[in-house]
Copies of this chain bind each other. A is one copy, B any other.
Amino acid sequence: MKTEENLSLLTDLYQLTMAQGYFQSQKLEPATFSLFIRSYPPNRSYFVAAGLSDVLQFLETFAVDAAGIDYLHSRRLFAEDFLDFLKGLRFTGEVRAIPEGRIFFKEEPVLEVTAPIIEAQIVETFIINQINLQSLIATKAARCVHAARGRAVVDFALRRTHGLDAGMKVARASYLAGFAGTSNVRAGQLYGIPIVGTMAHSFVSSFEKESDAFRAFVTSFPNNSILLIDTYDTLAGARKAVEIGKEMATRGQSLQGVRIDSGDLAKLAVAVRKIFDDAGLKTVRIIGSGGLDECDLADFSDANIPYDSYGVGTKMGVSADAPYFDMAYKLVESNGRPVLKLSAGKDSWPERKQVFRLCASGKLQKDLVALCDEDVAGAEPLLKKVMEHGAIAAPLPSLESIRATFLDEFARLPDSIKAIRNPATYPVEFTAKLQTLRLEIEKKVKRAE
């Protein structure tokens, strides 16, 4: 319940033991760490950048408090002079990053931190935690939005997200990726996201009769009623909703919609649509929910199933088919010396980098990963300086503007890359200079070791 009080110690112990190792070796030199995703999970060919705002706010306020220092002292692991140093430690470095809402690809640095090595090391855990989660969910949500082909999609995930912070970040990341709203009231309050909601089965079953429940609800919300019709029998529920809709019409009101949450969602939507159309209630919308993911939405789109919008919950909120990215934060430069690691399956590219994006006829065409000081004519450099000397370099963009950035770029991503199943691979190349450097460093390391 109190996880948010002392974020600076939300780190892995080894960050602190290494920090003491650096401190006692008098390694206070600058270093650059690069954050990237090593590979695509199944059916992914792009990622949506998200989470940077939280990272920058964390870095700007980083400070281990007195209770934290006391706790570390009690562990009898750390030297007094190191704990004194840690007490005064603030993040004073530079961050370059691909802005939130932009699309990025595997092996591309989405963020680079340059700072005295201890500072850059200690913040690793938080940085990965937030950017991994928010990019994971933004990517999953983008797939849902794409699959729904213009139908609204809203976030119903809060009850099954992994904890409370995830509940908030899932609402934020899915809205960023084009969702129309969230059921999460607190996310509405904090982030300004539209909040949406219908009713649950318990409301229906708390009344002796289903139609009593429907009547009570539309009396409370004459302008905003979406009736849940599958508590007992969906088609019978639809016919009762028709009666309610007709009653409302006599009062000059109109029933907004109905929701179907179980059963054969495709068949039921067709049958329910017919019931309302036959009754002359063509404006009543049908909302689908209940274990949906982007594959279901794509199938419904293909088959023209008459849903007007979708609530997606659990499978989006935990990115069920790919619940993590293989995201890494690797040392690429230490005191001016380019470095890499060669661990099997976990190798890394040396040096500070820039990602260049080439477009053709308005569409994304190819990315080039380059050394930081290279220039690629006609290409857009994606990594921007967002923090300097430990201070946020420019006002953080609003969630609405991040969302607009995403929707604009997503429209320019080729459909083959956006495919829900078996997407094509977007071309990402490494410049000759970077490839040459990597070979050199590899040779040098192998000689030395």
- Tell me the A residues contacting B by CB distance below 8 Å: 1-4, 6-7, 9-18, 20-22, 24-25, 27, 31, 33, 54, 57-58, 67-68, 71-72, 75, 77, 79, 117, 121, 124-125, 128-130, 132-133, 156, 158-169, 183-186, 188-190, 195-210, 216-217, 219-221, 224, 230-233, 236, 261-264, 290, 314-315, 318-320, 323-325, 327, 330-331, 334, 337, 339-346, 445-446, 448-449
Number of copies: 2
Enumerate chain B residues within 8 angstroms of A159, measured Cβ to Cβ: 12, 124-125, 128-129, 132
Enumerate chain B residues within 8 angstroms of A58, measured Cβ to Cβ: 1
Distance, CA A445 to CA B203, complexed state (A): 15
Q: Is the CB of A164 within 8 A of B167?
A: no
Enumerate chain B residues within 8 angstroms of A186, measured Cβ to Cβ: 3, 6-7, 9-11
Q: A9 and B202 in contact (CB under 8 A), knowing A160-B324, A163-B166, A342-B232?
A: no
Enumerate chain B residues within 8 angstroms of A117, measured Cβ to Cβ: 206
Residue of B nearest to A237 (CB): B449
Q: Is the CB of B164 within 8 A of A7?
A: yes
The minimal Cβ–Cβ distance linking A391 to chain B, given in whole angstroms, is: 17
Q: Is the CB of A184 within 8 A of B6?
A: no
Q: Is the CB of A198 within 8 A of B162?
A: no
Enumerate chain B residues within 8 angstroms of A346, measured Cβ to Cβ: 201, 261-262, 290
Enumerate chain B residues within 8 angstroms of A12, measured Cβ to Cβ: 156, 158-159, 183-185, 197
Residue of B nearest to A233 (CB): B449
Q: Is the CB of B162 within 8 A of A18?
A: no
Most-contacted residue by chain B among A54, A156, A201 (CB, 10 A)? A201
Q: Is the CB of B216 within 8 A of A125?
A: no
Q: A205 and B341 in contact (CB under 8 A), knowing A54-B1, A198-B14, A346-B262?
A: yes
